[in-house]
């Protein structure tokens, strides 16, 4: 029996469709738990702390990369797809983690970084030797322009040109991220097959699915045409900080290529016999929702994708939520989103949106009631804020490059806090790779997890409510609209309707209820019903959750 079934008190037919409406808990392994005192989290550390995660009632964990890597981008620069980096442990340690997660009823998804490798990968070492070796075409190589400049105007997300000169081949190679992260050439079928073999390796080992890093970056335009300029009025910072001129282009050639769909179908075919699921990261500031729809529509592509609308700086006001779903419905009526408010790449949403405890609860409630799957980032359930770090403590090359206008991603990657009365929060007995902020210690698991009125308990109740109602898991969504500062919607499925209204404002609101015949649910979340006049009075950040039989 799955965690979903145990927590809800109902037995739902989830089987291989567990992901549809499922709740995924993201673990950043460097910062979750250190088991050997070197100051860096590891696989054994994760295994020892899975009880906390399972206790939240989530369906799955997503583990950020733990593969062999020089760690220039902290594991997102892979040098061996089949190996565990020694700092994280061994393959045997991963097998132990997998077994314990499954014992606790948790699915395990691992982070596959397929668009690029480390420049230390054996594939790249061979590819860069000359223009005639067997892997010479495994990466995106191109001659210089006659004046010696790069082949086109493509830019790197981490700053500067997306091309690096290699004196061995006397050619440029493409890197959408660091120069030490060369992009693979997906137009080469041998590359595709090698990556599909990587997926097979982990599926055979027992993983339940993948989080696919930069899923829309796999293919580059075969002709390497210039990207057009993006008018200033259309620029935003959904996928790169505003100080980065990456935002000044419309990236129609450097990513988002139509050939990607055929590769995703091949990957889905590899996954299907194992009942595995995937969630793709769609990094695009202009067409994110549309691409998400393209990649998840139909039973032969990816199950889920997420765009960056709810990872952005823009606060989750009722009009913004309603507008996002309206655009999603227009662009991808058959697509399936996986929503997240925080992850390892953006400032924690408690700080990003300046949320009070009451506001954090309202956001968690909404997350578990919206159509789509949900992803929680470690520490979110504790109410952790973004850490303010000194420049000398930074590890992230992204932040070091653009400091101080952009402080990078270290502030959301500081260690998880387990014990309040421990200067390192119980994360390590050594010196942590990033400082543990003193202000995080009162939020440690030992201090808050057992509080029946605390934020962690609120997350448990919200997740349990989702699992108890098929309508909230996988039902249809209708009548979503902003009613002043209140977002309201109806979910339908499993023979019932669920009315959801969440006040996303810091002032009281009065709205019309859905009518007669509805019963209050989610009282543990502070849910209230209508008065005798049919109107619902909502305090700031309060919700109304009502259920009625399906019509």
Task: For residue range 490-501, list pLDDT tens digits in order.
Answer: 999 999 999 999
Q: Which helix (H) or strand (E) holds 361?
A: helix 357-369
Mean pLDDT value across residues 69-80 = 97
At residue 8, the 3 state secondary structure works out as helix
Are 381 and 404 in contact, with CB atoms under 8 Å apart?
Answer: no
Task: For residue range 222-234, list pLDDT tens digits in order.
Answer: 999 999 999 999 9
In this structure, which topology does domain 3-117+189-465 adopt according to CATH?
TIM Barrel (3.20.20)
Sign of the alpha-carbon torsion through 298, 299, 300, 303: positive
Confidence of residue 316 (pLDDT cuts 50, 70, 90): very high
Quote the pLDDT of residue 482: 98
Task: For residue range 139-170, list pLDDT tens digits in order.
Answer: 999 999 999 999 999 999 999 999 999 999 99
Q: Which of 59, 221, 281, 345 is catalytic?
A: 281
Quote the pLDDT of residue 239: 82
Confidence of residue 74 (pLDDT cuts 50, 70, 90): very high
Quote the pLDDT of residue 551: 86
Q: Residue 171 has which token pair?
A: 């050619």
Task: Determine the Cα–Cα distance for residues 372 and 472; give it in Å rounded to an integer.
Answer: 9
The answer to whether the predicted template modeling score (pTM) of the entire model surpasses 0.85 is yes
Extents of the domains making up the chain: 3-117+189-465, 476-549
Are 301 and 279 in contact, with CB atoms under 8 Å apart?
Answer: no
Percent of the chain whose predicted confidence (pLDDT) is above 70: 97
Q: Is the preceding omega at residue 404 within 30 degrees of 0, hence cis?
A: yes
Question: Please, what is the average pLDDT of the chain?
Answer: 95
Quote the pLDDT of residue 450: 95
Q: Which residue do the tokens 């990207």 mark?
A: 227
Catalytic status, residue 551: no
Task: For residue range 83-141, list pLDDT tens digits in order.
Answer: 999 999 999 999 999 999 999 999 999 999 999 999 999 999 999 999 999 999 999 99
Catalytic status, residue 323: no
pLDDT surpasses 60 at 194: yes
Quote the pLDDT of residue 305: 97
Q: Which of 213, 309, 380, 381 is catalytic?
A: 213
pLDDT surpasses 70 at 5: no
- Pick from 73, 182, 76: which is nearest to 126 by CA? 182
Quote the pLDDT of residue 240: 83
pLDDT surpasses 70 at 458: yes
Are 324 and 289 in contact, with CB atoms under 8 Å apart?
Answer: yes
* CATH class of residue range 476-549: mainly beta
Percent of the chain whose predicted confidence (pLDDT) is above 90: 92
Quote the pLDDT of residue 16: 82
What b/e readout covers 218-238, taking b as 16+ CB neighbours within 10 angstroms? bbbbeebeebeebeeeebebb
């Amino acid at each position: 029996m799955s965690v979903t079934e145990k927590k809800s008190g109902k037995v739902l037919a989830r089987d291989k469709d567990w992901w549809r409406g499922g709740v995924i808990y993201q673990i950043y392994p460097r910062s979750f738990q250190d088991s050997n005192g070197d100051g860096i989290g590891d696989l054994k550390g994760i295994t020892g702390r899975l009880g906390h995660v399972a206790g939240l009632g989530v369906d799955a964990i997503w583990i950020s990369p733990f593969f062999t890597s020089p760690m220039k981008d902290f594991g997102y620069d892979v040098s061996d797809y089949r190996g565990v980096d020694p700092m994280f442990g061994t393959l045997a340690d991963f097998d132990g983690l997998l077994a314990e997660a499954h014992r606790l009823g948790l699915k395990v998804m691992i982070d596959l970084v397929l668009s690029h490798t480390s420049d230390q990968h054996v594939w790249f070492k061979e590819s860069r030797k000359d223009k005639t070796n067997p892997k010479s075409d495994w990466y995106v190589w191109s001659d210089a322009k006659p004046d010696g400049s790069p082949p086109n105007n493509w830019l790197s997300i981490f700053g500067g040109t997306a091309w690096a000169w290699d004196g061995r081949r006397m050619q440029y190679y493409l890197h959408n991220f660091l120069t030490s992260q060369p992009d693979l050439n997906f137009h080469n079928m041998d590359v595709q097959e090698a990556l599909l073999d990587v997926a097979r390796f982990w599926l055979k080992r027992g993983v339940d699915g993948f989080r696919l890093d930069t899923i829309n970056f796999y293919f580059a335009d075969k002709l390497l045409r210039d990207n057009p300029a993006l008018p200033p009025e259309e620029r935003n910072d959904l996928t790169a900080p505003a100080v980065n001129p990456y935002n000044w282009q419309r990236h129609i050639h450097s990513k988002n290529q139509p050939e990607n769909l055929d590769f995703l179908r091949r990957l889905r075919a590899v996954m299907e016999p194992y009942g595995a699921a995937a969630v793709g990261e769609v990094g695009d500031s202009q067409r994110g929702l549309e691409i998400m729809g393209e990649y998840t529509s139909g039973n032969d592509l990816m199950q889920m994708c997420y765009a960056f609308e709810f990872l952005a700086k823009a606060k989750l006001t009722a009009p913004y939520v309603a507008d996002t779903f309206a655009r999603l419905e227009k662009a991808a009526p058959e697509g399936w989103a996986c929503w997240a408010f925080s992850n390892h790449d953006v400032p924690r949403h408690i700080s990003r949106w300046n949320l009070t405890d009451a506001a954090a609860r309202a956001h968690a409630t909404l997350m578990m009631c919206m159509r789509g799957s949900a992803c929680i980032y470690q520490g979110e359930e504790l109410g952790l804020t973004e850490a303010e770090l000194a420049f000398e403590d930074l590890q992230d090359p992204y932040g070091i490059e653009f400091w101080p206008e952009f402080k990078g991603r270290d502030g959301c990657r500081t260690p998880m806090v387990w014990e309040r009365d421990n200067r390192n929060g119980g994360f390590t007995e050594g010196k942590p790779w990033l400082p543990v902020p003193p202000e995080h210690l009162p939020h440690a698991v030992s201090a808050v997890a057992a509080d029946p009125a605390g934020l962690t308990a609120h997350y448990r109740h919200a997740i349990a409510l989702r699992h108890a109602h098929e309508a909230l898991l996988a039902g249809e969504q209708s009548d979503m609209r902003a009613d002043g500062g209140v977002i309201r919607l109806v979910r339908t499925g499993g023979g019932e309707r669920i009315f959801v209204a969440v006040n996303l404002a810091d002032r009281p609101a009065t709205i019309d209820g859905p009518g007669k015949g509805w019963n209050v649910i989610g009282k543990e979340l502070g849910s209230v019903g209508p008065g005798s006049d049919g109107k619902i009075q909502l305090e700031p950040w309060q919700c109304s959750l009502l259920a009625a039989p399906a019509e």
